[in-house]
A = this chain, B = another copy of it.
Amino acid sequence: MRVVQRFRPLAVICDLLCVAGPVDPAVQISRAFSQEFFKVERVPSSHKVGTRQKKLGSTFDKKFRQRLSDYLKTMASPEIEQHLAPLRASVKEYGDLVRSLKESGAPKVDIDRAVVELKARKKRLEERELELAPKEAAFDRLKLEDLLKRRFFYDQSFAIYGGVTGLYDFGPMGCAMKANMIDLWRKHFILEEGMLEVDCSVLTPEPVLKASGHVDRFADWMVKDVKTGECFRADHLIKNHAEKLIQLFPYKGCFSDALTVRAIFPRKVARAAGVGYVQPKDKKTSAADRDALVDVLAKLEGFDDKDMQAVIKKFHFKSPITGNELTDPIAFNLMFPTVIGPTGDFKAFLRPETAQGIFVNFKRLLEFNQGKLPFAAAQIGSGFRNEISPRQGLIRVREFTMCEIEHFVDPSDKDHPKFAKVRNYELSLFSACNQMDGRPAETCTIGDAVDKYNLERKQQLAGNGEMSKKRKKEVKKDMESQTCLAGNATSSQVWELGKGAVANETLGYYMVRVHQFLVKVGVDPRRLRFRQHLANEMAHYACDCWDAEILTSYGWIECVGNADRACFDLHQHYKATNVKLTAEKKLSEPKTVQVTEAVPNKALIGKAYKANAKQIMARLAELSAEDVGMLEGELRSTGKAVLTYEGGEAELKTDMLSVKRYEKKVHVEEITPSVIEPSFGIGRIMYAVLEHSFRQREGDEQRTFLTLPPQIAPIKCSVLPISSNLKLEPILEAVREQLAKHEISFKQDDSAGSIGRRYARTDEIGIPFGVTVDFESEKEPWTVTLRYALTMEQVRLQVSEVGRTVQDLAAGRMSWEDAQAKFPKFEQKADA
C-alpha cells in the first residue's frame, strides 16, 4: 500500500497497466490466470479482427513478445466497438454507482469499495482494447531491448559488480539522445516561454522535506522476513496470498470481472452473473475465509498498517520465499537518507523531485522578475527514489532526470495571455467523466475543454446543478472562501465539475505545449492522451490534474504530470520558516488599514547594542501589531522587555522605543500564488520515443531501424567510405571537416562489412543521414552521395555542400523532398 500516492505521480499508472515483462512474485499468480485466459479465448475465424486477435493471443506465450495498440484507430472500428460495448457498460454501471454513493453521502468504505471495482473494470476494458489492437501494432520488445543494450543506448549500472536494479548508465547513444531532448526542452519551454531556469542542490535538509510532506508521507508499507530480513511491499504480499487462497476461476467472463463482481455481490449474484469458483487447491480455505479475503482485496487500497497487520495475522501469511514469519508493516520512506557534515546529526535526503528547490527560492525568483506575477521557473536535474524493488527498465528507476516547471500565478486570475493562440489545438482528453462512464478518450479542442469548465462552474454557482443541498452549500463555501485557495476550485468541486473540463487557461495552455513537445521529440500522437485524475487519485490540495500518458508495451505510462497545485507548497514552507512567500497584488481600489508600529530610538539602541543594533531594529520593523502591543504592555508594566532576534536576545528599556498607531491607505494586498506544475520524466519519454520509432524493414524483419526525429537522433550523419582504398582518404577528410564546421555529430564506419551492412548498422541506431564516398567521388569537383535512412533514397551532391545541407536537414529547415528537388537522384544497385 503506497501510503500517499500523490507524491509519486510518475509511478502509479504502470502498476495498474503492466501486462507482461519481468514482474515480482506478487503478480505472477494473476499472470498465470491471464495466460490461461488468453488460451481459452477464441474469436470466430470469419471475423477479421478476430483473425488478428488469434495470432496476437498466441504471442502471450512467448515471454517478452508484446503488442502495441494503435489506440485511436482501434476505437474507430465498429467491429471492435461491438466487442467493447458490454465492458463499457459494466464500467459505466460502477461510475454511476460511485456518483450516487457520493451524492447520498454513503460511508467512505463503501465508496472506496465501489471505486476499487470501478478501477478494476476500467482496467479490464483497457486490456481488452489492447487485445483488439490491429496487427501492425505488434511490437517485439526483446528485439528493441537487445538493440539498446548492444549499441549502448543504456544498460544496467555497475554490471561488472553484479549490477544494481533501478540504476542505469547511458552510453554514447543514450547520452546524446537525452542531451538532445533536454536541449529541445530548454528551447521549447525556457527560451520560448521566457522561464527562469534554476539549478538547485540535490542534497536537501530534512526540515525542507518535512515541510513538503515527504518525510511523513512519501512511503510504502513494507513487511520483512523475520529471519532473512527480506523485504516485501505489504500490499503486494497480501494481494498475492489472498488471490492464491481464493482460487477464483472464471468459467464465463474473465478473471478480473469474476473477482470483482464477487467482491461486491454475494455468491449467488456472482453465480447468476455467470461467474463461478473452481475448487480451491488448498482445501483448508473455508467459504467464510474466502469471503473475508475477497473483502480484503476490495478494501486493500484504503488499508493502513494496522488493517494490513490484522490480515497477515488472521490468515497466517508468511514469506513467499522462505515460509518464515513476517514483521508488522513498517512505513518505508522512499527517499535516500544521508547526513551533511562531520557530526552526523545534520540529516538530509536526496531530493525526490526538483520542485522543492524552486519553491524555497520563490522570493529570489519573484525579485528577479521585479516582483511581478505571473512567472514560471523551471529546473532540469536528477531526482532519487528508493524503490523497494524496481522493474520495467527505464519506466521505474531509482535515479532519474526530471524537467519541472512551476508557473506562479494569481489564484484569482489563471488566464494565460497566449491561450488564444492555442485555443483550437486538439488533444485526446480522457476525462474523469469518460473514465467513469466507460467511454474512451475524446478528441477535443483545448478551448472547448476550458470553456466547458467555466460554464459548469457558472451554472453551479447559479444553483442549476443537480447536487444535493448539502453539496451545493459546500461547493459554494469553497468557492467563496477567502483562504489561500480563493479562486481555485477544490478537489471536491472537481469531482462535480471536472467532467472533461480543464480547470483554467494556464493549465490548458501547458497541456498544449506539453503535447507539442512530445510530438516534436518523436512520440506518436495517436498513442498519446491526457488522462484526468479521478478525485481519489488527486492530492488533497490540487484542483485539477491531467497526466500526459503514452502507450507503450508496458501499457499507458504517465510521462508528464500537469497539476494545478494551488498554494500548498508555498504555504507549507512559509509555515515551516515563517518567511512570507507571497507576492504583492495591486488592489482595484485602495483600502484603509490600521497600523501599529514600534518606532525605535536609534541612538539609544545603537549605543546599547552596537553591531547588533541593525538586526534588532530590523526585527522591530517586522513585528506584527499584536507583538508590538505585547511589547508595549511589558514595557509599561516592568519598564523592560526581552526581544528575540536573529543574533540572540536583547533587553529593551522603555526609552528605547515608542509605539505609533495610525491609519494607512494601502494599494496592494499580499497573495500567496497558485502553482501550475508540468513535471516531465525524461527517461520515460525517451523510452516511449524509442519504442515508437522502432521499425522493421518490410520483408526483412531482422533488419530493424529507428526513425528518430533528426533533432533527437544521437548522431546526425554517418560517413561511409565504399572501400578502404587510401585514395578516398582526402575526400573523407574534406567531408569530416565540412560536418565538424557545421557542428554536426557524425560517425565514420570504415569497418570491413559491405556498404549495405554498414547502412543497416547506422540505420539501427537511428542515424538519419549518411554520406557515402565512392569511386565516383574522385572526379573534380568531388561529390558524395547523401542517403536518408527512413526511405533509403539517395542524392548526389558536392562535398562543399554537405555541411550546410545536412545541418539544414537535421534542424528541420529543409525537408528530404527539398533535398531531392535540389540535387540529382542517385540510384544504387541494392541496399543490402
Contacts and interface: CB of A to CB of B under 8 A. Distances in A.
Contact of A169 (B159, B186, B357): B357
Q: Which of A165, A167, A573 gathers most chain B CB within 10 Å?
A: A167
Contacts of A165: 341
B158 A363 contact: no
Interface of A: 151-152, 155, 157-161, 164-165, 167-172, 174-176, 178-179, 186-187, 191-192, 196-205, 207-208, 222, 224, 229-231, 332, 336-343, 345-346, 350, 357, 360-361, 363-365, 367-368, 370, 382, 384, 386, 388-389, 398-399, 573, 576-577, 579, 581, 740, 743, 745, 751
Contact of A360 (B161, B186, B367, B382): B161
B229 A172 contact: no
Contacts of A151: 368
Contact of A386 (B198, B336, B342): B342
A152 B365 contact: yes
A169 B204 CA distance: 11
A203 B384 contact: yes
Contact of A343 (B231, B336, B340): B231
Contact of A203 (B164, B178, B357): B164
A739 to B, nearest CB: 10
Given A332-B342, A338-B338, A345-B229, A161 B198 contact: no
B342 A222 contact: yes
Given A743-B187, A751-B370, A201 B364 contact: no
A199 B222 contact: no
Interface of A is mostly: mixed
B160 A363 contact: yes
Contact of A200 (B169, B176, B192, B230): B169
Contacts of A201: 157-158, 164, 167-169, 399
A364 B196 contact: no
A423 to B, nearest CB: 20
B388 A200 contact: no
Contacts of A155: 364
11 contacts: A152-B364, A152-B367, A157-B200, A158-B205, A160-B577, A171-B365, A178-B199, A191-B743, A201-B399, A332-B342, A341-B389
Contact of A368 (B152, B336, B386): B152
A336 B203 contact: yes
Given A158-B208, A164-B340, A172-B198, 15 more contacts: A158-B201, A158-B360, A164-B203, A169-B200, A170-B198, A171-B364, A171-B368, A175-B199, A202-B202, A202-B382, A203-B399, A229-B345, A231-B343, A340-B386, A342-B388
Q: Which of A172, A198, A364, A576 gathers most chain B CB within 10 Å?
A: A172
B199 A170 contact: yes
A165 B363 CA distance: 20
A520 to B, nearest CB: 14
